[in-house]
Amino acid sequence: MRSWAANIPKKIQPAWHATLHYREVIMKRRAAILTIAYFLLLSLAGQLGFAPALQAQSDPFYKGKTIRIIVGSTTGGFYDRWGRIIARYMGKYIPGNPEIIVQNMPVAGSLMATNYVYNVAKPDGLTLGMPLSSIYLEQLAARKEVQFDLRKFHWIGSPAREAAILYMRADAPYTSIADIIKATEPPKCGSTGTASQSYTFLKMLEVTLGAKFNNVVGYQGGSEVDLAVEKGEVVCRAHNISAHFGREPFNTWHKKGFDRHIVQGSPKRDPRVQDAPTIYELFDEYKTPANSRRVAQVLVAEGDLGRPMMTTPGTPPERVKILREAYLKTLKDSELLAETKKGRMDVVATPGEELEALVKEVMDYPPEVIERARKILGN
C-alpha cells in the first residue's frame, strides 16, 4: 500500500520534507527546554527550602505525628491498662508509624474526657477517646454537663465485651439478693458517679427486683472504690467480670476469701462465677415485668460497648478507616495477645461500625423506656 506522502507532487516534496524536519527540531528543542526548566525548578526549591514540603506531600499523614488516647479513668484500672496496651502496638499498623501516648482524664465519670474529645480536640484523627462504657447513660439522663452527642462520634472499636458482677465483702451480712431485699439497712456500695457501671447496675437491681442499695458516689476511679472496700468505707461494688478476675486486689482477695459474688449481668453464668446467679435467672424467679426488663436492657447495654474507643466528629473518613483497620489488626497482634493472656484480659474485638450501630440503637429506644431510664438515673 502506498504512503499518503507519495501522493505529494514531486516538485514540492523537498519543501514538504524540510518543513517536517523543522517541526521535529522545534519539538525536540521545546522538550529539552522543559526538561532543563524542571530540574532548575527542583534545584531552586531545594535552595529555598521547598523540597521537604514537596516530599511531605507523598508521605503518609501520620508520619512523624503523635496520637493521644484520652482515657476517662485513673491509672491502674482496666480502662487504663487497655489504653496503654493498645498504645504500645497500634502505631505499627498505621501508615507512617506514629507515636501513641496515653493521657488520663478521670473527672466526673469520664464526662470531662468525652467533652474534651468532642469539643476541644481537632478533627484530625490525632486524638482518640476511651470513655467509660456507661457514658451513654449521661446523655440519656440529659445531664447539663453533657456537651456531646455520642451518635456523632466516629467509633473505632472495643477490645472486649464486659458483663457486670456485684461483689460484697464476705464479712458483710448479705449473702444473696434475697438478703438485700429483706434487709432493714441497705448495703453501702461505692461508685465514681451516677452513670458508672456500679451505680447503674445497682439501680437496675432496685427497679427490677426491689433490692435497695446505699450508693456512695464521687470516687475518682474503680481502684479507689476497691481501696474503700478494703478500708470498710463501703462493702460492695459492681464492675466487670474480666477486671474482677484479672488484677489486684481481687487475685489476693479470692485467695483469702475476702469477698463473695452476689449476682452477674451475663446472659448465662460465666465459668469464673458459677457461684452467682445471672440477672435473667433472678428476673424469672421474681417475675420481673416486661417493661422493667426493657429498662434493664438499656442500663446494662454498656456490657456490649466493652472498652470503647472513638475519635472526634468531622475526622476525615479516610483517617477513620485507617484507625479502624489498624485497631482490629492490633487486637490480633501475637505479642499483644501474649500480654493480654498473661494479664488475664480476654480479647473479643468489636469493630467500630458495630459500636456505632449499637450506640444509635440504644439512644433511639422508645421514648417511654428512655424516660423511665432517666427517672432511674436521676440527678
Domain boundary among 258, 287, 302: 302
Banded model confidence at residue 16, pLDDT cuts 50, 70, 90: very low
Judge whether residue 130 has pLDDT over 70: yes
Helices (H), the chain: 13-48, 51-56, 78-90, 111-115, 135-140, 177-182, 197-209, 222-231, 241-244, 250-256, 279-285, 290-299, 302-305, 317-330, 334-342, 352-363, 367-377
For 259, the enclosing helix (H) or strand (E) is strand 259-264
Percent of the chain with pLDDT over 90: 55
Please tell me the distance from the alpha carbon of residue 263 to that of residue 265, in angstroms, as a whole number: 7
Q: What is the CATH number of the domain that holds 262?
A: 3.40.190.10
Please tell me the distance from the alpha carbon of residue 203 to that of residue 299, in angstroms, as a whole number: 9
Would residue 26 count as lying in a domain? no
For residue 367, the model assigns a pLDDT of: 86
215-232 pLDDT tens trace: 999 898 888 999 999 999
State the cell numbers at 141: 439522663
User: Look-up: residue for cell 531552586?
Assistant: 44
Whether 246 and 270 map to the same domain: the answer is yes
Amino acid present at 279: I
Judge whether residue 363 has pLDDT over 50: yes
138-151 pLDDT tens trace: 888 888 899 999 99
For 155, the enclosing helix (H) or strand (E) is strand 154-158
* Range picked from 117-131, 286-300, 343-357 for highest mean pLDDT: 117-131
Whether 174 and 287 map to the same domain: the answer is yes
Amino acid present at 87: A
For residue 187, the model assigns a pLDDT of: 97
Would residue 323 count as lying in a domain? yes
Lay out the sheet containing 164-169: strands in order across. 214-217, 188-191, 236-240, 164-169, 259-264
The whole-number average pLDDT for the span 34-47 is 53
Whether 177 and 137 map to the same domain: the answer is no
Please tell me the distance from the alpha carbon of residue 309 to that of residue 85, in angstroms, as a whole number: 13
For 156, the enclosing helix (H) or strand (E) is strand 154-158
The residue ranking higher by pLDDT, 368 or 235, is 235
Whether 176 and 292 map to the same domain: the answer is yes
Whether 200 and 266 map to the same domain: the answer is yes
Beta bridge partners of 310: 129, 155
The whole-number average pLDDT for the span 297-307 is 84
Would residue 31 count as lying in a domain? no
* 77 close to 222: Cβ distance less than 8 angstroms: yes
Whether 168 and 251 map to the same domain: the answer is yes
Q: How many domains does the chain have?
A: 2
Whether 315 and 340 map to the same domain: the answer is yes
Whether 241 and 267 map to the same domain: the answer is yes
Would residue 270 count as lying in a domain? yes
- Domain residues for the domain of 339 are 66-160+306-364
Whether 275 and 180 map to the same domain: the answer is yes
236-292 pLDDT tens trace: 999 988 889 888 899 999 999 999 999 999 888 988 899 999 999 999 999 999 888
Whether 235 and 334 map to the same domain: the answer is no
Domain boundary among 302, 321, 349: 302
Would residue 179 count as lying in a domain? yes
Question: Residue 330 in 3-state DSSP?
Answer: helix
Beta bridge partners of 311: 128, 154
Q: What is the CATH number of the domain that holds 100?
A: 3.40.190.150
Question: Residue 188 in 3-state DSSP?
Answer: strand
* 229 close to 190: Cβ distance less than 8 angstroms: yes
**ω into 9 cis (within 30 of 0):** no
Would residue 330 count as lying in a domain? yes
Would residue 3 count as lying in a domain? no
The whole-number average pLDDT for the span 104-126 is 91
Domain boundary among 267, 283, 302: 302
* Predicted model pTM: 0.70
Query: Which long-range contacts does 359-363 make (Cβ < 8 Å, 24+ apart)?
Result: 359/136, 359/150, 359/151, 359/153, 359/155, 359/305, 360/151, 362/136, 362/140, 362/298, 362/301, 363/136, 363/139, 363/140, 363/150, 363/151
Whether 172 and 145 map to the same domain: the answer is no
Whether 125 and 212 map to the same domain: the answer is no
Would residue 285 count as lying in a domain? yes
